[in-house]
Amino acid sequence: MHCRFLAGASSLALLATLGLAAPANAQDDTAEVTEVVVTGSFIAGTPETAAMPVNVIGQDEMQKQGSPSTVDLLKSIPAVSGVLGEANQYAAAQSTGSGNVNLRGLGAHRTLVLMNGRRMAISPGAIYVDTNLIPTAAIGRVEVLKDGAAATYGSDAVGGVVNFITRKNLNGLEVQGNYSYIDGSNGDYSLSAAYGWQGDRADVLLTAGYRKRTELPVTERDFAIRSLTDNPQGGWSAFGNPGVYQTSADGTFRPGATGTLVDPACNTISGPLNASGCQFQFIGFNNLIEDEDHWQIYGEVNVDLTENTKFHVEALYAGHEVATEHSSPSYPPNNYPTSALTGIAGRNNGFYIPANNPGLQALLGQIPASQSALAAAAGANGLFTSIAWRPLGVGGNDLFGGGSKHDRRYFDTYRVSAGLKGEFDFAGGIGWDAAVTYMDSNAEIATPDILVGKLQRALMGFGGDSCTGATAGQNGCLWFNPFSTGVASNVLDGRTNPGFVASTANSREVLDYIFGEYAYKMRSQMLSADLVFNGKVDAIDFGAGPLAWAAGGQYRWSGVERHNNNDSNIAVSPCSDSSVIPGSTCAAQNGPFSFFGATGDYDLDYSVGAAFAELQMPFTDTLTGTFAVRYEDYGGNIGSTTNPKVALKWQALDWLAFRASAGSTFRAPPQTQIANVPVTNLSYTSVAGGYRAYDLWGNPDLKPEKADTFNVGALFDFGDFTASIDYWRFNFKGPIAAESGSQIVNTVFNNGAAGANRCADPAYAGLVSRISFDGGVCNATGINRVKQFYVNGPDIQTSGLDFAANYRARDVLGGDMAFGAELTYVFEFKVDPTQIEGVTTAAERDLVGTMDYLGYGSQPQWKGSAFAEYTRGDHNLRWTIRYVDDMIDTRGVTSPATFATNQKGLKIGAFVTHDLAYRVFLPWDTTLTASVINVFDEEPPFARLDLSYDPFTANPLGRYYKVGVTKKF
């Protein structure tokens, strides 16, 4: 299942066979191994017999690239598309600092990640493995199987497998340090140490690593701060502060009996003001890269217990922390107090601000004469907040130092894997391999959000934990000022507020009172027991060698838990008023926060039993076939599945070989997707003019998704020139996916067409019921929350070509030249029509060359890299060009209003970067590397997204410089 490291002639042969650049021998890996188990097979053999498309990236190759981070390494693979890893909180779903790998753009959850051939637990709160937990100092090579492998590994290996394999044969101590100078930040750096000991019958590997990323504010990159005209989705919201309020001349605040009052500071410290409200650009409060700490500690021991029995144990502790993720000073409310707190019957879609609020009293004198009637109504009856408002905006959040709100993310994991392998003497020698792997991953998440009940109390002068008595603003009771009168200036651009009244500024005490923490702990566990037998049947031999076989079983248990704090737990705090009226009851149980919805605790698990078999038959000296089948049983609603696979390798000529494989794969739904619990995310909603809350619920009726896979390729080997080309295809049936909230909204509101909606059309009643509205009235600007479910979605068909070629020119100017190119071209990514609540919300579409940001992600048609390298003695110099093709934003079709008046960003340009890396072996076992990444300082192409670029395919760093030193003792 896992591979021994290939070096010397074996390494060169494998890379030549696969059409990859053959690196020089790694300094600590010199032992030749002639028989290995290649990722994707349980049968030991030589690399030349591999019939499946496997990329191998060795430690030496990584060093020649400038020792990229795990995220950068995986992002650079042409077959990988749409990788999470940059600090993009709008897509990271409260998992900032985590990374993943996404083969074929099929979703990270469809790529199985292994370490030394054994499974890893999914990241808490996610459905993929966090690749940033991999102990980079311990990794000797990475193998990437770009083909479905459910017959070998079971669920999750739908799109392929990435196997991180640890170093072998290190003897002594190695220390390494890397520093990257990044303009606008304090740079990134990493430190690591690796110790290896080699004995006659045992060996040891111990490593420790630390990586520091420092924050890169959005304001440090001009491309990320765009005007409202330039990028209406560039961190702009119609829900701001200064904001918009509703008045009432008779004090009833009935819908239709109100007027609209605009805070006069909109145009002086915020804005612009338009029909949607007072526009607020919150993106300046964010970071492009957060301040992150990553650490990994790893150890393994290998012992030859007897001549035929070997023992292996490995242990990993790793984690990362984002202590201060920067975000908007506050979120726009989606949840409001009841009349029990406001005292206004029949109006539960806003916060009530009484006329005696000091901030309002100060504001009344600043209202222009054109709004004198509204000012008089407000002075007599107070105001209600409009939906186009948030408690804190351009003035920042003084509770966290005056600017951004700070969120916290912490993840750590423990993993232990131990096994015995050996060989029975009878029957020609039957090999066996038994192993147990346990992994326990934990997360602690805290996102400050405003508590509805406490905010309403503070608006009325009864804020503060020490408030006593019945008089507003006295006896420890505090006021909250929701207006610009309490804001001295725009903390981002420095514009001062002439209407600032210092006595009405909000104190830290009242901010501390109204803010709670949407906080929870999550846990993901996995226990796997594997038993594999392998051998040969000498009686079955067609003259090219006997039949080789492998068979065995696996037991796998996985569990996920979530434990909320009291404010986030719907069982404890179900209502909007729960923070000040414990035990309150309500029909709409949205929880006590103004933005996030409360959810329940859960503790879920399931067990899987599997049996598998694999046969490898050399029919002739040139033709070998491999046949595999796996049965997995989940029980319950999920049931069981059987998946076969066949692969062939034909060495037609000395320089030409063909390979082909076909099989079926599957993926079972994880526990969180079948549990009846929601997860809240925020997403920009064009028709509403800002971010709205989307509640994604599990579905107990989910079934496993299935896919048929096919690959056929040719391998060319002319000695110094090698190449490979492969055609691949995936056909998915019932892929598990989240319903598209944007499709629900866009269908109800006719893709943003002016004056058109389906609110009253009975055929769309099911879709309308998925949306909750301000005041219960169906209208686009009043959207509060959208309800989605996990479903077995529309079928997907995707296919394409992988190509790689390398050439080595020897004895050039006293050294060697090497040239290589690798690319992936996608023919199609077709998605069948989508139906939600019986309504077709999306027609059949081909997403090749598109960015489907709210659905299937980034799908560039071309992605590739090429390099030229010169090696002379101890010196190596490499120039690399990386290319990501242009894409079309699918919202140009699904939501035409997004680009109705401004076509900029409809086409996202190609991203082309150049890297220069130099490595030299110095005396005293010292290696120096120096790199210039993105030599020509290419900016990421403009995209109509929050940060004005696509973080899944590009990065915001610009040109940066990296230096690394490795010393061996």
What confidence category does residue 948 fall into, taking pLDDT thresholds of 50, 70 and 90?
very high
pLDDT of residue 186: 96
What confidence category does residue 251 fall into, taking pLDDT thresholds of 50, 70 and 90?
confident
pLDDT of residue 632: 93
Q: Quick one: what percent of the chain has pLDDT higher than 90?
A: 68
List, for residues 525-576, the tens digit of each pLDDT value: 999 999 999 999 988 999 899 999 999 999 999 999 999 999 999 999 999 9
List, for residues 897-935, the tens digit of each pLDDT value: 778 788 899 999 999 999 999 999 999 999 999 999 999
Alpha-carbon gap, residue 682 to 960, rounded angstroms: 32
pLDDT of residue 87: 64
Q: Which of 436-440, 601-605, 918-922 has the lowest mean pLDDT?
A: 601-605
List, for residues 457-485, the tens digit of each pLDDT value: 999 999 999 998 889 999 999 999 999 99
E-strand stretches of 634-765 = 640-653, 656-667, 678-685, 690-697, 705-717, 721-733, 736-738
What confidence category does residue 38 fall into, taking pLDDT thresholds of 50, 70 and 90?
low
List, for residues 481-537, the tens digit of each pLDDT value: 999 999 999 999 999 999 999 999 999 999 999 999 999 999 999 999 999 999 999
What confidence category does residue 33 fall into, taking pLDDT thresholds of 50, 70 and 90?
very low
Tokens representing 774 are: 């301000």
pLDDT of residue 685: 81
Look over the chain and give the mean of its residue pLDDT values, rounded to a whole number: 89
List, for residues 109-133, the tens digit of each pLDDT value: 899 999 999 999 999 988 889 999 9
List, for residues 67-119, the tens digit of each pLDDT value: 888 888 888 899 998 777 776 667 667 888 898 999 998 988 899 999 999 99
What confidence category does residue 276 fall into, taking pLDDT thresholds of 50, 70 and 90?
confident
Are 614 and 152 in contact by the 8 Å Cβ rule? The answer is yes
Bridge partners, residue 535, by sequence: 549
pLDDT of residue 13: 32
Buried b (16+ CB within 10 A) or exposed e, 154-186: bbbbbbbbbbbbbbbbbeeebbbebebebebbe
Tokens representing 812 are: 């050039």
pLDDT of residue 823: 95
pLDDT of residue 305: 95
Taking residues 221-243, report their average pLDDT: 93
pLDDT beyond 70 at 737? yes
C-alpha distances in Å from residue 883, one per residue of 30, 88, 146: 34, 22, 20
pLDDT of residue 20: 36
For residue 16, give the H/E element and its range: helix 8-18
pLDDT beyond 80 at 894? no
Q: Which of 6-10, 151-155, 573-577 has the lowest mean pLDDT?
A: 6-10
List, for residues 651-679, the tens digit of each pLDDT value: 999 999 999 999 998 888 888 888 887 77
Higher local confidence (pLDDT), 44 or 137: 137
Q: Which of 447-451, 762-766, 900-904, 965-969 has the lowest mean pLDDT?
A: 900-904
Taking residues 624-629, report their average pLDDT: 94
pLDDT beyond 90 at 393? yes
669 DSSP 8-state letter: P
pLDDT of residue 716: 96
DSSP string covering 583-652, please?
T---SS---SBSSSPPB--EEEEEEEEEEEEEEEEE-SSSEEEEEEEEEEE--TTT-EEEEEEEEEEEEE
Q: Please report where in the chains the tokens 């019939």 appear, as a residue.
A: 51
pLDDT of residue 49: 47
User: Which range has highest mean pLDDT (44-53, 54-63, 423-432)?
Assistant: 54-63
pLDDT of residue 125: 83
Alpha-carbon gap, residue 797 to 847, rounded angstroms: 10
Alpha-carbon gap, residue 78 to 80, rounded angstroms: 5
Q: What are phi and psi of 553, to 5 degrees?
A: -145, 165
Q: What is residue 67's three-state secondary structure?
A: coil
Alpha-carbon gap, residue 207 to 190, rounded angstroms: 13
Q: Please report where in the chains the tokens 């408030």 appear, as a residue.
A: 467
Q: What is residue 531's three-state secondary structure?
A: strand
Are 894 and 853 in contact by the 8 Å Cβ rule? The answer is no
Q: Is 676 exposed, middle or buried (CB count within 10 Å of its CB: 0-12, 13-18, 19+)? A: exposed
Alpha-carbon gap, residue 504 to 487, rounded angstroms: 9
pLDDT of residue 2: 37
The amino acid that residue 196 corresponds to is: G
pLDDT of residue 329: 97
pLDDT of residue 50: 63
What confidence category does residue 32 fall into, taking pLDDT thresholds of 50, 70 and 90?
very low
pLDDT of residue 257: 66
pLDDT of residue 590: 86
pLDDT of residue 92: 67
What confidence category does residue 16 fall into, taking pLDDT thresholds of 50, 70 and 90?
very low
Q: Quick one: what percent of the chain has pLDDT higher than 70?
A: 93
What confidence category does residue 30 fall into, taking pLDDT thresholds of 50, 70 and 90?
very low
Alpha-carbon gap, residue 758 to 838, rounded angstroms: 14
pLDDT beyond 80 at 357? yes
Please calculate the CA angle 226-229-234 and round it to the nearest 5 degrees. 40
Alpha-carbon gap, residue 953 to 99, rounded angstroms: 13
C-alpha distances in Å from residue 602, one per residue of 254, 470, 576, 678: 41, 41, 22, 11
pLDDT of residue 898: 76
Domain ranges of the chain: 227-285+329-403+451-506, 669-700+738-788
